[in-house]
Each structure stands twice: as C-alpha cells, then as structure tokens.
Amino acid sequence: MIVLGIETSCDDTSVALVAEDGPLLEKTALQEDVHSLFGGVVPELASREHQRLLGPLCRALFSQSGVSPGELGAVAVARGPGLLGSLLVGLGLAKGLCLATGAPLIGVNHLHAHLLAAGIGQDIAYPALGLLVSGGHTQIWRMASDLDFTLLGRTLDDAAGEAFDKTAKMLNLPYPGGRYIDLLGQGVSPDHSLYPRPHLDDPGLDFSFSGLKTAVAEHVRKRPGLRMADMPAPGDPFDPGLADPETRVACASLNWAVADTLRIKLTRAARLHGPFASLVVAGGVAANSRVRSMAADLADRLRLALRLPPLALCSDNGVMIAHMGRKLALAGFRHGLDVDAIARGKKIPWDYKILS
C-alpha cells in the first residue's frame, strides 16, 4: 500500500509517499524567509504560503516518484493540532484527492506522528516512554503500541522550543533560532547556576518554560553585549566561534537548563508509570545536540532502548504523516470527508471509522 502524507500544521509545507519498505519520496518547502522578517510565524502568511506551494509540491512528488494518484491506497493529512488556516489548506487538498481517486481519507494526529517518526526504519519497543519537545509542545506520553497513546504531562504555558526561539530573538539571531542556540552552545561548558530549571518543585510531570524565558530576558537586559552585533543571514554559513564567549556560555547554559529539566521529568515518569522498554524523543527540539546527548545518557542509565528520529525527521514533515497514516489504514481506520481540522489547544478526538 502506498500512502500520501500531507503536512501543513504550521509553517512547513511537506508531502511524501510511503510504502511497505519505507519512504519513497518527500517534497518540502520551508517558509523561514517569509517569517524571519517578523521573528516568528504569522498565521495568515503561513496559510497563504501553503496554498501557493502545496499544488506544485504534489505535482513534483507524483512526477518524480512515478506514482500516480490512482495508485494511492490512502491519503493521510495532519488534522491538528496546529494553525487552523494552515491545517485547512492541507485538509482541502486531501479531501479533493480522495474524491477524485476514491482513496480513503485518514486524518492524523500531528503529535502522535512526531513520536512514531522515531520508528521509521527501526522498531519501537513497547511500552515506550515518549517525549515530544518542539516549538509548540512539550509533552510526556506513555506509548503502549503504534496507535495507543496516553498523555502523562504537558507544558502549562510556553514550550521548550519557544524558549529557544525567543532567546534567539533576544540575541539578534534569525528565526527559527533553536539551531543557532544549539551551535553557539556546542563545545562550551554551561554555567549551571545561570538559569533556573523551571517547575521542578511540582511533583507531577507538567512543564512550564515561561519563567526560564523571563530569566533569559533579564540576563540579556543586564548584559546587552550578549546580542550579536549583526544578525546572520538565514541559511548562510554560521561560525559560532565569532560570537562573544559570554554569549556562547549563555546559550550553553540554556541548552543545559532545558535538557536537564526534561531529564528530571522523564526520570520521574519512568518511576511513576513504568516499566518501559524504550525511550522515544521526537519533535523539533529533539534535533538539539544537548537534548540528544541527555536522552542517550538517560536511556543507558534506565536500561531502555533509545529511539530518536534522524535529524531530517525531527521538524514537521510529510513522511511522518504518511507513516502513521499507513499504520492506521492497515489497521482498518479511516475518516469521512466531513472530518474537521483541530486547532492547537483542543483535544484531537479518536473518531475513526472502520473500513468495511
């Protein structure tokens, strides 16, 4: 079965084909140049860019893969959570393709798809302890199987990726800024006392990163010399060695504070909700080198198999949507053409129909 995946939940436009042996081809267009002018994603601009880009990307995908729309076994699309206008663009194309080809439509929970991306090309041992950490979400999950997820903890305000992006903006770094913070902090010893590790007094598994973001803002306010004199051009080669050493320490300390907060909460989750067979870490912040190192150390200490997506599958992508859509299709699940997009902040219902 060949499944088309469509991802338009935020500012990345991505389509992909996945078959039994794995991904066949992916076509992705980033919107960083558009949104970097504003230091963050502008929802209206994002949806307009999806509308402009999605058709050409799909035509290129089918043309270059040699697969025709009539060969699709299913069409999978991110239905949420995300920016409502952006989701509706992808969902509209998916419904049109299903009407034209007769392929079943499968709405995919974008968050679950991120976690399952760690299983592309390798098996996930269940039950798994899952951490989804991105610009919009920081969550801990218990994964009993490919299609059985239980939310254990979530951020109460800002996500970890939000702290990275806002810090980058404070330091005069381009959007999205997480990769710049990571590069600047690599090879530098962090100051463990510089920033707080937030919300650790709460005995539960929820997160809160707004206080950390405020602490960084106060530190930068007192030391304006931490800001880059000239903003690097997005996409251009970036040499972290040219930055002020104090700026690099500030970035290394932020990387450590976030990673160690995640470590403590994951350790607590393993104790409260285990046993687990593996540790899954996914989402855009799973590309952060300090977070990946933390995950490797923690998995080794807890004697869990570690599953991390390749760097290319950490950010939003069509492959993960097609991958999970294919699992749902093989299990007999589908949606009707009346399926709705679900905006961020709302629960994604399990409202699939069973294929007859």
Q: Scan for tokens 């905006």, then name that residue.
A: 343
Identify whether residues 163 and 39 lie together within a single domain: no
Query: Considering the domain boundaries, does residue 209 fall inside one?
Result: yes
Query: Considering the domain boundaries, does residue 120 fall inside one?
Result: no
Query: Considering the domain boundaries, does residue 232 fall inside one?
Result: yes
Contact 110, 131 (CB under 8 A): no
Asked whether residue 202 is marked as a ligand-binding residue, the answer is no
Query: Considering the domain boundaries, does residue 160 fall inside one?
Result: yes
Query: Considering the domain boundaries, does residue 105 fall inside one?
Result: yes
**How far are the Cα atoms of 31, 75, 78, 111 from residue 348, in angstroms, in the given order?**
26, 18, 11, 10
pLDDT in tens, the chain (356 residues): 999 999 999 999 999 999 999 999 999 998 877 787 677 788 899 999 999 999 999 999 999 999 999 999 999 999 999 999 999 999 999 999 999 999 999 999 999 999 999 999 999 999 999 999 998 899 999 999 999 999 999 999 999 999 999 999 999 998 889 999 999 999 999 999 999 998 998 899 999 999 999 999 999 999 999 999 888 887 788 999 989 999 999 999 999 999 999 999 999 999 999 999 999 999 999 999 999 999 999 999 999 999 999 999 999 999 999 999 999 999 999 999 999 999 988 999 999 999 76
Q: 10 Å Cβ neighbour count for 276?
A: 23
Asked whether residue 57 is marked as a ligand-binding residue, the answer is no
Q: List the CATH number of the domain containing 10.
A: 3.30.420.40
- Token couple for 102: 């007769």
Asked whether residue 332 is marked as a ligand-binding residue, the answer is no
Identify whether residues 85 and 202 lie together within a single domain: no
What total number of domains does the chain contain?
2
Identify whether residues 90 and 51 lie together within a single domain: yes
Asked whether residue 288 is marked as a ligand-binding residue, the answer is yes
Identify whether residues 295 and 171 lie together within a single domain: yes
Asked whether residue 316 is marked as a ligand-binding residue, the answer is yes
Cα–Cα dist 33/322, whole Å: 26
pLDDT confidence of residue 276:
98
Q: Which residue spans within the chain are E strands per DSSP? A: 2-7, 12-19, 22-30, 72-80, 105-109, 128-133, 138-145, 148-154, 278-282, 305-307, 333-334, 353-354
Query: Considering the domain boundaries, does residue 121 fall inside one?
Result: no
- Quote the radius of gyration of the chain (alpha carbons, Å): 20
Asked whether residue 323 is marked as a ligand-binding residue, the answer is no
Asked whether residue 300 is marked as a ligand-binding residue, the answer is no
Cα–Cα dist 252/238, whole Å: 17
Identify whether residues 90 and 200 lie together within a single domain: no
Identify whether residues 111 and 159 lie together within a single domain: no
The whole domain housing 186 covers 126-308
Contact 130, 115 (CB under 8 A): yes
- Token couple for 129: 């302890």
Roughly what angle, to the nearest 10 degrees, separates helices 245-273 and 160-170? 170
Query: Considering the domain boundaries, does residue 225 fall inside one?
Result: yes
Asked whether residue 356 is marked as a ligand-binding residue, the answer is no
pLDDT confidence of residue 356:
60
Asked whether residue 182 is marked as a ligand-binding residue, the answer is yes
Identify whether residues 297 and 325 lie together within a single domain: no
Asked whether residue 165 is marked as a ligand-binding residue, the answer is yes
